[in-house]
Amino acid sequence: MRLLVTGGAGFIGSNYVHWVLRERPDVEITNYDLLTYAGNLENLRDVEEGPRYRFVKGDICDSALLDEVVPGHDAIVNFAAESHVDRSIDWAAEFVRTNMLGTNALLDAARRHKTPRYLQVSTDETYGSIDVGSFNEEDRLDPSSPYSASKAGGDLLVRSYHRTYDMPVLITRGSNTFGPYQYPEKVIPLFVTNLLEEKTVPLYGDGMNVRDWIHVEDHVSGIHAVLEKGEVGQIYNVAAGNELTNVELTKALCDLLGKPHALITPVADRPGHDRRYSVDTTRLRALGWTPQWGFDDALQATVEWYRENRWWWEPIRARQE
């Protein structure tokens, strides 16, 4: 099997590449990535010389290059996205371009070249906030930020290509994800690296926003379960049921690193900050998938990875300053 993985140098994409090369020895991967600020080939330096892996630098909005790269692949898994909510508030147009126009260009290429399977990696943020209970895949979308709105727009394009052109598409919507190689603008790597440098950690608002956390290996194994076993045209939520308030998460990180809670610094809340995310994963579990990581072990392993891999994140932090 030949997979085209777009955005494979990013956080979840690179972990997916690692997982597939390790768990599926019959699969070859083409990693197609523009290497914007969060795309990092250092994430993949241990596989870059492997016989089942190749890298192509490219933009998913580049239809001419896609026509060269897409043919011959058995499936496309689209991780390529602008993904940081705060950045989307300041630079919404970049998110619309990649997450919607890029998705459209990739869908068109897949349709032209009759790719047998197309999987769109999306987010639970497209559903918006929910006070009680959990969203299922048929609930309406109610995105709150330019990021989640652009991802919702991409999802709708994917579904429209299934209905209009009978394209064999799938969508996954994952919950908040953490683990190795996550760009240190996201909350867990930002807070861990701040604490390792004895810096304060900025907690939005009252810290009572609730997120459902999943380790990246569980997320990518769920994505691949959908690729292999999912029903064409369907959406699958991917989550592990680890709901915590942001303040609970922040205190847990302080405790794991032996740092005082006094380093937690409240800051003004983010505009349009959703209160709670929660999704139902019954449909995915019916495919035989279950998460393998307990939350406490996953969080501790993640903290240790950042503690032991300063070579990876210190240059990134230096460029941010």
pLDDT of residue 33: 98
Instruction: Tell me the average confidence (pLDDT) per consecutive run of 10 residues in the chain, 321 residues long.
Output: 98 98 98 94 96 98 98 98 89 94 98 98 97 97 96 98 98 98 96 97 97 98 98 98 98 98 96 96 98 98 98 92 71
Structure confidence at residue 112 (pLDDT): 98
Q: How many residues does the chain have?
A: 321
Q: Which residues contact 200 (CB under 8 A, 6 or more apart)?
A: 194, 263, 264, 265
Q: Which of 33, 59, 82, 124 is catalytic?
A: 124
124 is catalytic: yes
For 242-294, where are the alpha helices, taking DSSP H only? 246-257, 282-285
Which listed residue (16, 32, 147, 181) is catalytic?
A: 147
pTM, entire model: 0.97
Q: What is the spatial distance between Cα 194 and Cα 220, in angstroms, rounded to a whole number? A: 27
Q: How far, CA to CA in Å, does 250 sit from each of 31, 207, 254? A: 34, 9, 6
Q: Which is the catalytic residue, given 33, 59, 82, 125? A: 125
Please tell me the predicted confidence (pLDDT) of residue 21.
98
What residues have CB less than 8 Å from 248, skipping those under 6 apart?
none
Give residues with Cβ within 8 angstroms of 45, minimum separation 6.
Answer: none
